[in-house]
Amino acid sequence: MMNLPDGCVARSARMEDAQAACVLFNCCSEILTGEQPHGEEDLVVEWRTPGFDMHRDTRVVIDEKGDLAGYGEVWDIDEPHVRIHAWGRVHPDHHGRGIGSALIDWQEKRAREAIRKAPEDARVTLGCGALENDGPARQLLEDHGFHIVRSFSRMLIEMDAEPAPATWPEGITVRSFRPEEDFERTIQSVRDSFSDHWGHVETPYEEELKQWRHWIDEDPHFDPSLWLLAEAGDEIAGVCLGHGKRHEDEQLGWIHVLGVTRPWRRRGIALALLRHAFGVFHGIGKTKVGLGVDATSLTGAHRLYEKAGMFVKRQSLAYEKELRPGIDLSRQTLDESEET
């Protein structure tokens, strides 16, 4: 049972809630950022992610009028079940009624179910994010025992004219992704690149393949020409995985993943991929390109983006609560030889 205001009830989310949920999410986002980034199609794809169970992993709060007043979800789909993530929103008309606290209490209870699935001696945490300017959300998390562990930036470049072409290191070529031929080797390259990302935990390869296949097959806006592979002969040295559909801004292209595998770092491949991506996006009519980055990236990615002409649009904070102490299985540091 959730401790809710009189007249409010909670239940699992249903597919038919997708439209109302996006209205709620966008209402919250518009107040904080002036944008409406959430789309019903994207939410349905997310809810259908392999391993995610809407009945078990979501809750909606319905107010006295039958409208959606709050939403919460918990992501606990990856072995070894040591870094659980929560996300939620409360409609501004219902702030201060205790709905946010009720959702966080439910999220923590749900997240603690992961402890029995985690390795016996491993540390288990629950993570949640908040925009830097969202004072009430930050206070709510801190009141519930969460603390800041990291800062992340949304970065942007605005292109008034065609961007300068990329300069490629000797022996490196670039081409677009071929879905049937390149799928597994591309995902392996993403895994290799992001094994050095702060907080990374190694997960089963086959399960990750299922998730990527789902996101590609179920996304009606997936465009393989926006997935770029930098190659050295037959080897993928780096990847830049882009998307051309952003609900908040039709002129905005988005880079979900930019990574270079460790043997190929410090050769200028990441910068070349990024600049090449700017040109590809410009070629399809985009005037802006954005991405998200760890503000204190272990591999120095934020410095790379600044060098390419990107600037910080806004900041968000990663909060964490320890559910069980133990050995931390996540990546926390790199030595100098492992940096970009």
| Phi, psi for 160 (deg, rounded to 5) | -80, -20
Give the chain's domains with CATH numbers.
9-145 (3.40.630.30), 155-316 (3.40.630.30)
Q: What pLDDT shows up at residue 335?
A: 59
Please list the ranges in the chain whose pLDDT falls under 70.
335-340
- Kindly report the pTM of this predicted structure: 0.94
pLDDT in tens, 25-34: 999 999 999 9
DSSP category for residue 306: H
Average pLDDT, the chain: 96
Q: Which residue has the tokens 């562990």?
A: 149
| pLDDT tens string 286-334 | 999 999 999 988 777 889 999 999 999 999 999 999 999 999 999 998 7
- Determine if residue 7 is left, alpha or beta; phi over 0 gives left, psi from -120 to 50 gives alpha, anything else beta: left
User: Alpha-carbon distance 243 to 157, whole Å?
Assistant: 15
DSSP letter for each residue of 187-239: HHHHHHHHTTSTT-----HHHHHHHHHHHHHH-TT--GGGEEEEEETTEEEEE
**Would you mind telling me the total number of residues written for the chain in this entry?**
340
How high is the pLDDT of residue 338?
46
pLDDT of residue 340: 44
Instruction: Encode pLDDT of 131-167 as tens digits.
Output: 999 999 999 999 999 999 999 999 999 999 999 999 9
Give pLDDT, residue 302. Answer: 85
Cα separation of 214 and 33, whole Å? 30
260 close to 340: Cβ distance less than 8 angstroms: yes
